[in-house]
């Protein structure tokens, strides 16, 4: 149990080559498919990419700033975490940094995802995330139990 | 700490905050500190009685508590900002678990 409130780190072993995992991360269509975000265009370092997500019957807009791309090694981007309230303009708020780091392993690829910078996000905004208690949640947790071995 | 251990039981918190009015009350208390019922009702399209009911739900979940300051009764956030921050991170963490499960299915089921 970590005590930090600024960052989270997730690690998962994927039974796929780093080249395959990289494609899933770096190719806009592939990223859209698994992440559930429709992207306007492909990723490139320094680029701002807009995306939309369907959430509880609403279409929400997201902005991704692509910071670094090192093929089969690292994808780093910034976004507004949990920006799920269409009434709120998040553009003036700080973003978190998301890093996908890939390493080859005997089973395939070890992917480490870190998201950091949460302490810069207004606390009231963070409290709002508690309300995001959608119905699909229980099912998602079951899916995790079946699929994530981290 | 009684409040912290209460707060760790996530479910009542989520239920208590799964309501826009209660969420706004927590927002107000987390940014301004203790407030009277009069101040909490300001800007809300509701009676004081209705707001008091919402506060009671939040109090049951261990999120707020009523305190007395002189002759005035105030409501304050009982969950510490740190606890709110931790619970928030739990939610973000669960979202990543779900996203990475989808990624695993995506890359492991094709060739």
The structural domains of chain A, ordered by start, are 7-147 (3.30.530.20)
Domain ranges of chain B: 2-79
- B chain contacts of residue A113, beta-carbon cutoff 8 Å: 96, 100
Q: Give the strands of the sheet with B72-77, arranged side by side.
A: B35-36, B72-77, B64-69
Q: Which fold has domain B2-79?
A: Arc Repressor Mutant, subunit A (1.10.10)
Among the partner residues B94, B102, B108, nearest to A16 by beta-carbon distance = B108
pLDDT at B82: 67
Among the partner residues B15, B89, B103, nearest to A8 by beta-carbon distance = B89
Mutate to test the interface with B, among A126, A135, A146 (most CBs of B within 10 A): A126
State the count of interchain CB pairs (< 8 A) between A and B.
Answer: 125
Tens digits of residue pLDDT in B80-101:
666 767 777 887 888 899 999 9
Can you tell me which residue has the tokens 């959608």?
A: A134
Ranges of chain A whose pLDDT falls below 50: 1-3, 133-150
Q: Token pair for residue B3? A: 């409040």
Other beta carbons within 10 angstroms of residue A108's beta carbon come to 17
* CB within 8 Å: B87 and A130: yes
Nearest alpha-carbon partner for B14 in B1, B32, B26, B28 = B26
pTM of the shown model: 0.66
Q: Determine the residue of chain A that is closest to B94 in CA distance.
A: A141
Tens digits of residue pLDDT in B18-58:
677 887 888 788 778 899 999 999 988 999 999 999 999 88
- B chain contacts of residue A140, beta-carbon cutoff 8 Å: 94, 97-98, 101
pLDDT at A140: 41
The answer to whether B11 contacts chain A (CB < 8 Å) is no
The answer to whether A148 contacts chain B (CB < 8 Å) is yes
pLDDT at B35: 94
Question: A-contacting residues of B 53-82, CB under 8 Å?
Answer: 81-82
Min CA distance, A27 vs chain B (Å)? 13
Handedness of CA A99, A141, B83, B70 (dihedral sign): positive
Using CB atoms within 10 A of its CB, is residue A16 exposed (0-12), middle (13-18) or buried (19+)?
Answer: buried
pLDDT at A99: 96
**B97-109 mean pLDDT:** 93
Q: Looking at per-residue confidence, does B6 or A66 come out higher?
A: A66
Question: B-contacting residues of A 38-77, CB under 8 Å?
Answer: none
Other beta carbons within 10 angstroms of residue A29's beta carbon come to 11
| Cα→Cα distances A47→A37, A44, A84, B16, Å | 17, 5, 22, 40
């Amino acid at each position: 149990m970590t005590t930090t409130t600024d960052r989270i780190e997730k690690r998962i072993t994927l039974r796929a080559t780093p080249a395959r995992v990289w494609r899933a991360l770096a190719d806009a269509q592939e990223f859209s498919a698994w992440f559930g975000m429709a992207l306007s265009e492909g990723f490139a370092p320094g680029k701002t990419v807009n995306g939309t997500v369907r959430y509880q019957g609403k279409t929400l807009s997201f902005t991704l700033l692509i910071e670094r791309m090192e093929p089969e090694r690292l994808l780093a981007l910034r976004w507004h975490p949990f920006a799920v309230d269409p009434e709120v303009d998040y553009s003036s708020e700080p973003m978190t940094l998301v890093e996908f780091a890939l390493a080859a392993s005997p089973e395939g690829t070890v992917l480490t995802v870190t998201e950091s910078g949460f302490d810069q996000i207004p606390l009231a905004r963070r409290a709002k995330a508690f309300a995001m208690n959608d119905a699909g949640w229980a099912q998602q947790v079951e899916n995790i139990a079946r699929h994530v071995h981290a | 700490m009684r409040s912290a251990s209460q707060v760790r039981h996530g479910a009542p918190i989520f239920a208590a905050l799964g309501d826009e009015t209660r969420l706004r009350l927590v927002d107000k208390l987390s940014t301004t500190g203790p407030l009277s019922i009069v101040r909490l009702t300001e800007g809300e399209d509701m009676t004081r009685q209705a707001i008091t009911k919402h506060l009671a739900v939040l109090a049951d979940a261990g999120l707020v508590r009523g305190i007395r300051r002189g002759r005035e009764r105030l409501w304050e956030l009982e969950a510490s900002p740190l606890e709110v921050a931790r619970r928030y991170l739990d939610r973000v963490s669960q979202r990543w678990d779900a996203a990475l499960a989808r990624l695993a299915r995506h890359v492991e089921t094709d060739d």
